[in-house]
Structure 1
Amino acid sequence: MSVDKNSEEFYAKLKEQLSDTSLWPGPYLYKFIVPSNTSKIKEIEDIFDHIGAVITRKESRTGKYTSVSINVRMKNPDAVIAKYKEVGKIEGVISL
């Protein structure tokens, strides 16, 4: 239960920061670290499919992990947070 409370506090703080520092609609850069598993990477890419996202991938030196960067125009802070929550359901993904 405390994890949900902490994540809700985190998202509330993120929303406030996004509202204060950015103009909306506007570009937003998501960064994720994923175990180098093509199905997990595809799941992330599918979440951002059909919204004009530019997605770049870079494998770690050892090939164990992949960095996924997604540059996309978002409507508002709530839309940004909604995507973070969607990606957060994928096991093993680290949001930066």
Structure 2
Amino acid sequence: MTPNDNPEEFYAKLKTQLADTSLWPAPYLYKFIVPSSAIKIKDIETIFNHMGAVIKKNESRTGKYTSVSINVTMKNPDAVIAKYKEVGKVEGVISL
């Protein structure tokens, strides 16, 4: 199931899983696939700005896409989900 199938159900399930598997605050690893556009990548970086996030980017072999991994300490499952929703507003981004 992806956030696009049924967002409310997807995020409710994710929140339960996060609450059951971690003690909060906790480090969390976000992974996204982004069309290789400096603007889109910068939009994602801006969402995690001033949070102490470690951001790693890796361009695909063809250069068409870039994987963006973001390791950041989050306060709770709700904060994790809020960031997914923010990034979801950037066109063409796939959350992994």
Instruction: Pick the TM interval, shorter chain.
Output: over 0.9
Name the counterpart of 2:94. Answer: 94
Aligned residue pairs, count: 94
Distance 1:20 1:6 in 2: 21
Deviation at 1:5, TM superposition (A): 8.0
| TM-score, normalised by the number of residues in structure 1 | 0.95
Distance 2:4 2:48 in 1: 24
Distance 2:5 2:88 in 1: 15
User: What are the Cα deviations for residues 39-86 of structure 1, in whole angstroms up to 9, with x where unaligned?
Assistant: 000000000000000000000010000000000000000000000000
Structure 1 residue runs without a partner (length 5+): none
Distance 1:20 1:75 in 2: 15
Name the counterpart of 1:42. Answer: 42
Over aligned residues, Cα RMSD in angstroms? 1.4
2:69 aligned with 1:62 = no
- CA gap of 1:20–1:41, structure 2 versus 1, over 3 A, is same
AA in 1 matched with 2:69: S
Name the counterpart of 1:79. Answer: 79
Name the counterpart of 2:15. Answer: 15
Q: Displaced runs of 4+ in structure 1, greater than 2 A?
A: none
- CA gap of 1:6–1:30, structure 2 versus 1, over 3 A, is same
Query: Of Structure 1 and Structure 2, which has the larger fraction of its residues in helix?
Result: 1
> Percent identity among equivalent residues?
80
Distance 1:26 1:68 in 2: 20
